[in-house]
Amino acid sequence: MERTGVTIRVEGLTKHFGKVAAVQDLSFTAGPGVITGFLGPNGSGKTTTLRCLLGLVRPTGGEAVIGGRPYARLADPLRTAGASLEASNFHPARSGRAHLRIQCRTAGIPQSRVDDVLELTGLTDAANRATRGYSLGMRQRLNLATALLGDPSVLVLDEPSNGLDPAGIAWLRGFLRRLADEGRTVLVSSHILSEVQQTVDRVVVVYRGRGVAEGTLGELDPEGEGLERVFLRLTSDTPAEPAARTSGREDR
C-alpha cells in the first residue's frame, strides 16, 4: 500500500499538573516506516506526552504535532492517527462490536470497517460479548482494533503489550512490523525492555519528564550490551560513566 508518510514531532513539550512537572522541555520525532519505542520507567511522563500529542491534555508549553498540525486541527483525526491508551476505554456492558460501531459513527467512518478491524485483530469470535468478560489481552486487541478503524497513517500505542501472553506478544510484534512496513508511523510506549528490543527500530528514552536519549538501537547500544543496561544507566540517579552518556541529557 502506498502511503504518504506522516511524521510525529514533539518540540519543547512541557506539562505541569499543579506543581508537578510531568513533562519538561521534551523533544523528539517519530517518522514513517519505522517503529519508534517510547521508553521510560513508570511515572516518567510517557502517558502525559502521548495525551498531549492526541489533544486530550493541553500542554503548558511547547507543542506536539502530527504531520505538522496539532491533533485537534487535523481535518480527519481518526483517519490520520489511531490511538490506544489505557487498558480499557469501553463500557463494560457493551459488546466489542457495539463499542466499535459507536466509535465509527462518532467519527463518520463507514460501519464496514468494524468487521475489518475485528478480523485484523482476531476478535471476530468475541465481538458480540460484553467487554466486561474480556481478558486484558482481548482488551488490548479491542484497543488496537479501535485505533485501526480509520486505517490511519499514524499509530500511537500506550503500553500495548501489557497483559498479553507470550503468543500475544509475538503476534503484536509481527502486527506492528507489518503496519510499519506499510509506511505507517508507529509510536509505542513501554517499560518492558526485553520485548521492546525485539520490536522497535528507534527509541526515545524519557526519565522524570525529560528526554534523556533518542536514536536507533545501534546508536544507543553500540557495544551490544543490551537495551536493559543502557536503559538502567540512562534512567538512574547515580551518575554513569561519562563516556556512556548520550546526547540530550542535561538535567542532572
Partner 1 sequence: MTPRLVVVEIEKFFSTRAWFWTALLLAVVAAGAVAVMGLAAPYSDPPLPGIDTDQGVRAAVGVTALLAAVPALVGVVGMTSEYQHQTITPAFLAVPRRSPVVVAKVVAYAVIGAGYGVVAAAMVAASLAGSALVLDVPLGAGAPEIAGMLLRVVMAMTVYTMIGVGVGALVRHQLTAIAVLGGALYFLDQVLLVVPGVNTVYPYLPGGATAALTNFTLLAEQAGSETGLAMPDLLSPGAGAAVLAGYALAAVAVAVVLPVRRDVV
Scanning 55-63, 114-122, 165-173, 208-216 for contacts with partner 1 by CB under 8 A, the matching segment is 55-63
74 or 118: whose CB is closer to partner 1? 74
Nearest to 196 by CA among 46, 13, 28, 25: 46
What does the block give as the cell for 119?
478480523
Q: b/e for 166-203, b at 16 or more Cβ within 10 A? A: eebbebbbebbeebbeeebbbbbbbbebebbbebbbbb
Find all residues with CB under 8 Å of 110, minimum gap 6, and list them: 104
Scanning 74-82, 116-124, 183-191, 205-213 for contacts with partner 1 by CB under 8 A, the matching segment is 74-82
Q: Give CA separation, 75 vs 66, 72, 82, 123, 185, in Å.
A: 11, 8, 14, 30, 18
Letters for 13-42 (x = contact with partner 1 by CB under 8 A, - = none) are: ----x-------------------------
Q: Determine the size of the site formed for partner 1 (CB under 8 A).
A: 32
Among 6, 35, 53, 83, binds partner 1 (CB under 8 A): 83
3-state secondary structure 156-216: EEECCCCCCCHHHHHHHHHHHHHHHHCCCEEEEEECCHHHHHHHCCEEEEEECCEEEEEEE
Closest approach of partner 1 to the CB of residue 104, in Å: 9
Scanning 78-86, 117-125, 222-230, 239-247 for contacts with partner 1 by CB under 8 A, the matching segment is 78-86
Rule CB under 8 A: is residue 110 a binding residue for partner 1? no
- 17: β partners: 20
Scanning 5-13, 67-75, 200-208, 220-228 for contacts with partner 1 by CB under 8 A, the matching segment is 67-75
Among 43, 92, 110, 133, binds partner 1 (CB under 8 A): 92
Rule CB under 8 A: is residue 243 a binding residue for partner 1? no
- By the criterion CB under 8 A, which residues form the site for partner 1? 17, 48, 51, 54-58, 71-72, 74, 77-78, 83, 85-86, 88-94, 98, 101-103, 105-108, 146
